[in-house]
Structure 1
Amino acid sequence: MGFLGYLVRKKNYVTLLATFVMAIFLMAALLAPFLFDWETATRVTLDTSLLSPSLAHPLGTDELGRDLLARVVWGARITLIVALVSVAIAMILGVLIGSLCGYYENWFTDAVMRFMDFMIAFPRTLLAIIVVTVLGSGVLSLTLAIGISTIPANVRLFRGPILALKRRQFTVAAKALGARDSSILFSHILPNTTSLIIIQGTLSLAEAILIGSGLSFLGLGPQPPIPEWGAMIAASRAHITSHPHVILAPGITLFAVILAFNLVGDALRDYADPRSRKAI
C-alpha cells in the first residue's frame, strides 16, 4: 500500500482525509472542461445574481449571476496549472543551482550563495509583486513570479545535503575510480535526494497556491472573467455579510486545499524518515 498503508498503520486519518481532498482537487482540475463549459463559469446573467445554494446552483451564484461551483472547479484548474508550473521552475533551477553550489566549493559558488541569502532575506511576496509588476498581470507572469521567488529557498535547502553526500564513501569511491563530476552528481548524489525533492515539491505546491491566490486577491493575477480563487474572494468582499456564500465557496476551498497539501507534505516527510519507517 506504500504511503497510504503507512497512514492506515499510523492511524493518521486526518492525513488520509487530506489525501482524499487532494484527489478531489486534482480530479476537479483535470475534469473541469467535462464538468462545466467555460461559458457557465464566465457568462454574466444579472437576473440570476447572488442566488443562494440550491439544486440548480449547489454553491449559489456570484454578483454577476455566474455559477459558483463552475467557477470554483475552473479555478482549481487554473490554480493547479500555476502551482505545478511555478513549482517545477523553482525545483528544477533550485535543485540544479543548489547542487552545483554544494558540489563545487569556490569563490563563484560562494558569491552565488551570498546572493541567494540576500534574496531569501528579501520578502518573498514583495519579490513576486515586483516580478508581476514588471511582466504585467496574467497567468504566465503570475507563474513566473511564484517560481522565481521560490528558487532561493530551494537553492539553500538542497545545497546542504549535496555538501554532505559528496563526502560519503560511495562518492569518494566513484571519484577515485575516475568517474566524471557530472556522472557523480547526477547518477550518484542527486538520486539520494529524491525523497527530499518529493517532500519539498508537495509543500511548495501549498505555498504556490497561497501566494498565487494572494497576488490575485491584490489584482495581480489572471484578470476577469477568468475564475481564480483569490480574485473571487476579492470580488465578493462587498457581499460578505449579506450573501456570505459568495466568499465561503472559494475561501473554504482554498483553505481546505492548502491545508491538505501541508498535511500530506508533513506526512511524506515522516514516511521518508528511516526512523519512522522502522516503527511500522
Structure 2
Amino acid sequence: MRRRTLGALILATFLLFTAVSYATLDRERLTNWDNYLFWLDYPRGARPVWLGDSSKSVEFSGQVEYPVTEKAPVNLILHGNGEVSITIFRPDGKVVRLSAEINGTTSVNSNTELALQARRFAIEDLGLRREDLAFITPTQALFMDENRNPLPGKYTIQIHPRSVEAQLIGDTYALLGTDYKGRDLWVGFVGSTVNTLILALLTTVLVIFLGILLGIGSGYYETRLGDAVSVILEALNSIPYLPLAIAIIFVLSSTGFHGKLEMGVFELALILALLLVGKFASAVKGIVMHEKVQEYIESARVLGASDLGIILRHIMRAVLPYALSYSTLLFAQMIAVISILGLFQIIPGANWGSFVAEAFTQNAIYSLWWWPLSPSMAIVLVSVGLTLLSGKS
C-alpha cells in the first residue's frame, strides 16, 4: 500500500471516529465542562469501564438490572421534574423505597429527602450505626449488607415516572473515567479534539489563502505596494512568532470562567495565520517570479490574456501543488503549536494541550495515566497520517 493511501486512510478513520463521537456527545455535559458545580454528583477519579471489573456506571429510565460484585455504586443521579419514586429490589429480599420532589438534576447523595431516607434504611433495616455511615455515601448504603460490605447479587432498580432519566454511578465511568473533579474525561477529550482540529484547520486555510494572495500580489506586480508587501513578509520571517503570538493573545483576549482566557476561534486563527504567513507567502512569491518570465506567459500576454486570466490559468497551476503539500505539513505544525500553547495555559479555549495541562494541575499524570495518554496518542496518529500523506508515493 502506498504511503499516501495509508496516510489518507489513517486520517479518514480518525476524523470519522471524531465526528461520530462528537455527534453522539451529551451537549449539556460538553457545555458545562468548566462548570465544576455541574459535576458534583459524579465520582471522583473513576477508572474507564475497560480497565476494571468493579461497579460500572449505567444510564437508564424506567427499570434496570444491576449486578454488584466487589463494589457498590457511589451515586444515583436523576434528571427530571415532579414527584419521583425509586424502588430497589435487593438480592437478600429487602425492598428499598425512596421518594421525593425533584426539579432538574439531583441525586440520592445531594437531595436531602432521598439521602435521609437512604440512611434511615441503612440504620433501621440493616442495623448500621450512624458513625458507620460517615464513610459511605447514601447510595452505597442501599447496596450494603449488615457488615457494611457490598451485598453481591443482582439488583432490580425501578424509577417512576419513566420520563425521569437516571444514571447509576459506579467507580468506573465511561470510556476515559473521570478526573478528580468528577468531570467525564471522554467529554473533555472529544471536545478538545474537535476544538484543536477546527483551530488548526482554520489557521491552515487562512495561511494558505493569505499566502497565495500576498505571494502573487508581491511577486507578479512590480509596484510600490508589492515592494511594501515584500518588506512585511521579510519582517514576519525574521520575527519569532511564538513570543509575539503569546503577547498578542494576552493583550486581545478577555478573562472568562474561572479566570481562563477567552477569544473567538476566528480571531485566534487569524492572529496565528498572520504571524505564520510570511514563510509560505515568500515561497509563493518565488514561484510566481520564476513563472511570470517563462515563454508561455509571454505568449499568453501577446495573445491578449489579461493579468487575472494569466494568474488563474497559469500561475495558480504552478502554485497549487506546492500549496497542497505545504498545507499538510502546516496543519501538523499548527496542531503542535496549539497543543504546546495550551499545555502552558496560554492559548484560550479547550484543546489537547489544555486537556493534558489539567492532568498536571490535578497531579493525575500517573494515577490517571489514560488521561494524558489519550491526546498524546491522537497527536501521534494525526502526525503520522499527515506525514505519510505529504510524502512521495
TM-score tier (shorter)? 0.7 to 0.9
Residues in 2 aligned to 1:183 and 1:93: alpha-carbon distance in whole angstroms: 20
Asked if 1:96 is matched to 2:213, the reply is: yes
Partner of 1:73: 190
Relative to structure 1, the CA distance from residue 65 to residue 16 in structure 2 (aligned partners, 3 Å threshold; closer, same or farther) is farther
Provide, for residues 146-168 of structure 1, a one-character-per-residue CA deviation record: whole Å limited to 9, x for no partner. 22222111111211111111122
Asked if 1:236 is matched to 2:231, the reply is: no
Asked if 1:19 is matched to 2:14, the reply is: no
Paired residue type of 1:37: D
Residues in 1 aligned to 2:303 and 2:193: alpha-carbon distance in whole angstroms: 50
Residues in 2 aligned to 1:261 and 1:45: alpha-carbon distance in whole angstroms: 40
Relative to structure 1, the CA distance from residue 87 to residue 68 in structure 2 (aligned partners, 3 Å threshold; closer, same or farther) is same
Partner of 2:44: 49
Query: SS of 2:381's equivalent?
Result: helix
Q: Is the 8 A contact 2:6 2:388 kept in 1?
A: no
Deviation at 1:67, TM superposition (A): 2.6
TM-score, length basis structure 1: 0.81
Counterpart pick for 1:256 among 381, 386, 390: 381
Partner of 2:247: 130
Relative to structure 1, the CA distance from residue 241 to residue 25 in structure 2 (aligned partners, 3 Å threshold; closer, same or farther) is same
Larger helix fraction of residues: 1
Paired residue type of 1:260: G
Provide, for residues 67-104 of structure 1, a one-character-per-residue CA deviation record: whole Å limited to 9, x for no partner. 32332222222122211211111111111100111112
Residues in 2 aligned to 1:81 and 1:48: alpha-carbon distance in whole angstroms: 31
Residues in 1 aligned to 2:387 and 2:182: alpha-carbon distance in whole angstroms: 34
Query: SS of 2:39's equivalent?
Result: coil
Structure 2 gaps, min length 5: 51-172, 254-261
Residues in 1 aligned to 2:268 and 2:370: alpha-carbon distance in whole angstroms: 27
Residues in 2 aligned to 1:143 and 1:54: alpha-carbon distance in whole angstroms: 37
Residues in 1 aligned to 2:276 and 2:17: alpha-carbon distance in whole angstroms: 26
Structure 1 gaps, min length 5: 1-7, 272-280
Partner of 1:212: 338
Relative to structure 1, the CA distance from residue 174 to residue 50 in structure 2 (aligned partners, 3 Å threshold; closer, same or farther) is same
Residues in 1 aligned to 2:347 and 2:12: alpha-carbon distance in whole angstroms: 25
Residues in 1 aligned to 2:282 and 2:219: alpha-carbon distance in whole angstroms: 9
Relative to structure 1, the CA distance from residue 24 to residue 62 in structure 2 (aligned partners, 3 Å threshold; closer, same or farther) is farther
- Higher mean alpha-carbon deviation, 166-175 vs 108-117, is at 108-117
Q: Is the 8 A contact 1:50 1:246 kept in 2?
A: no
Deviation at 1:18, TM superposition (A): 3.7
Query: SS of 1:222's equivalent?
Result: coil
Deviation at 1:257, TM superposition (A): 1.7
Residues in 1 aligned to 2:287 and 2:248: alpha-carbon distance in whole angstroms: 30
Provide, for residues 37-82 of structure 1, a one-character-per-residue CA deviation record: whole Å limited to 9, x for no partner. 1234425246422222224422232232223233222222212221
Counterpart pick for 1:187 among 313, 329, 333: 313
Residues in 2 aligned to 1:169 and 1:222: alpha-carbon distance in whole angstroms: 50
Relative to structure 1, the CA distance from residue 63 to residue 260 in structure 2 (aligned partners, 3 Å threshold; closer, same or farther) is farther
Query: SS of 1:26's equivalent?
Result: helix
Paired residue type of 1:231: S
Partner of 1:4: none
Counterpart pick for 2:19 among 6, 13, 30: 30
Percent identical across equivalent pairs?
26
Q: Is the 8 A contact 1:142 1:220 kept in 2?
A: no
Larger strand fraction of residues: 2
Asked if 1:197 is matched to 2:323, the reply is: yes
Deviation at 1:106, TM superposition (A): 4.3
Deviation at 1:178, TM superposition (A): 1.9
Residues in 2 aligned to 1:195 and 1:261: alpha-carbon distance in whole angstroms: 16
Partner of 1:245: 370
Query: SS of 1:175's equivalent?
Result: helix
Residues in 1 aligned to 2:47 and 2:384: alpha-carbon distance in whole angstroms: 27
Q: Compare relative contact order (CA 8 Å, sep 6+) and give the higher one, 1 or 2.
A: 1
Partner of 2:158: none
Q: How many residues align?
A: 254
Partner of 2:175: 58
Q: Is the 8 A contact 2:189 2:375 kept in 1?
A: yes
Counterpart pick for 1:154 among 264, 280, 297: 280
Q: Is the 8 A contact 2:175 2:186 kept in 1?
A: yes
Residues in 2 aligned to 1:40 and 1:17: alpha-carbon distance in whole angstroms: 35
- Higher mean alpha-carbon deviation, 159-168 vs 27-36, is at 27-36
Relative to structure 1, the CA distance from residue 45 to residue 92 in structure 2 (aligned partners, 3 Å threshold; closer, same or farther) is same
Provide, for residues 219-250 of structure 1, a one-character-per-residue CA deviation record: whole Å limited to 9, x for no partner. 23334xxx421111111112112222221122
Q: Is the 8 A contact 1:128 1:145 kept in 2?
A: yes
Relative to structure 1, the CA distance from residue 187 to residue 205 in structure 2 (aligned partners, 3 Å threshold; closer, same or farther) is same
